[in-house]
Amino acid sequence: MEGSGLVTGDLGAGPALAVDIGGTKIAAAVVDADGTIRATARRPVPAHRPPEAPPGGREPGEGGPAEEVFGALRDCVGEALASVGIAADAISGVGCGCAGPMEWPAGAVSPLNIPSWRAFPLRARLRELFPGRPVLVHNDGVALAAGEHWAGAGRGVRNLLAVTVSTGVGGGLVLGDRLFHGTSGNAGHIGHLVVDVDGPDCPCGGRGCVEALASGPRTVHRARAAGWAPAAGQPADGHTLAAAAAAGDEIARRELARAGTAVGAGLAASASLLDLEVAVVAGGFAQSGPIFWDALLAGFGRHAGLAFIRRLRIERSDDPGRIALRGAAAFVLAPHRYGWPD
């Protein structure tokens, strides 16, 4: 078990079941009202092999059939509960962070890397598993923001932005000591903040967005177009690119730095608009080392012209997997700050 040292003044009864669903993994945890993680479980998102694929092959990022994916989720949460001997009717509720896009607050999800889940009624299906218990489903970046504010680098501040830099670039916002959802639940989506009006096209339909410049796939694409290639047997992904940059490859270094610069500019713009205290950055590139981080801080400094913007404290998330699970639990355990009307 892992304690958080949280003050429990406004928390609801526990434990809660927390769920975190990404493109390749499903994680679950039993979390007490003070933020202690009592148990965790993890499953891969079931692989889908098209008929033409070779035996044992997998299309990167593709999940299996919808019910097979949900079955893996059901098994994962069942393992977490069984490991501490808690029945489904003994939890205070279920909080879930899931990759998007999604319909909020209805909780119908369409994760880009799980193509069999298109408008999948995740919240409704979890309610069937846990009848009579509150079930809240939000974007995984929002769960990260709640977790960082409740139990991480943003504890004790009132205004925070959490950012994930991975297959896409997303985020979540806490304003005035409360999770801020916006109109459609997409507040904090820094990935589609424009930082280069003449920049590349973005999958969202715009151009020059942070995601178009800083996501792993877009950064790899630029590097490959400029002549970079992974070593034999290595995948052409963000991890390989970051390793090549660390080893001195000039193209990899330049494109990784460009990604960091874009994120830094996005943080400066966000701080200018929202007068933030803390920004926490997570995701693969956030763990890649000084090339990305030095460029991020330089990009922020270049665009942080006003004193109140420069006061923003930028942190790297220490343990985003557990923090996101705590954030999902906080939807249920600390509803006054992190919940929302049914």
CB 29 within 8 A of CB 39: yes
Per the structure, how many domains does the chain have? Answer: 2
Are both 170 and 43 inside the same structural domain? no
Q: CA separation (Å) from 311 to 23, 99, 275? A: 35, 31, 9
- The whole-number average pLDDT for the span 116-144 is 96
Are both 186 and 312 inside the same structural domain? yes
Band of pLDDT at residue 101, cut at 50, 70 and 90: confident
Q: What is the pLDDT of residue 308?
A: 98
Range of the domain at 204: 153-317
Are both 308 and 328 inside the same structural domain? no
pLDDT tens-digit series, residues 251-282: 999 999 999 999 999 999 999 999 999 999 99
Are both 328 and 282 inside the same structural domain? no
CB 322 within 8 A of CB 28: no
CA distance 248 to 298: 20
Are both 170 and 309 inside the same structural domain? yes
Are both 202 and 286 inside the same structural domain? yes
CB 282 within 8 A of CB 259: no
Question: Residue 55 belongs to a domain with what CATH number?
Answer: 3.30.420.40
Residue 6, domain member (yes or no) = no
Terminal alpha carbon distance of the chain: 31
Q: Which residue would you say has higher pLDDT here, 162 or 63?
A: 162
Residue 265, domain member (yes or no) = yes
**pLDDT at residue 233 greater than cutoff 60:** yes
Residue 1, domain member (yes or no) = no
Cis peptide before 134 (omega within 30 of 0): no
Are both 130 and 179 inside the same structural domain? no
Are both 105 and 135 inside the same structural domain? yes
Are both 311 and 192 inside the same structural domain? yes
Q: What is the pLDDT of residue 48?
A: 56
Residue 9, domain member (yes or no) = no
Residue 305, domain member (yes or no) = yes
pLDDT tens-digit series, residues 202-226: 988 999 999 999 999 999 999 999 9
Are both 186 and 122 inside the same structural domain? no
Are both 94 and 198 inside the same structural domain? no
SS3 291: helix
Q: What is the pLDDT of residue 8?
A: 38
Residue 114, domain member (yes or no) = yes
Residue 196, domain member (yes or no) = yes
- The whole-number average pLDDT for the span 19-39 is 93
Residue 161, domain member (yes or no) = yes
Are both 76 and 130 inside the same structural domain? yes
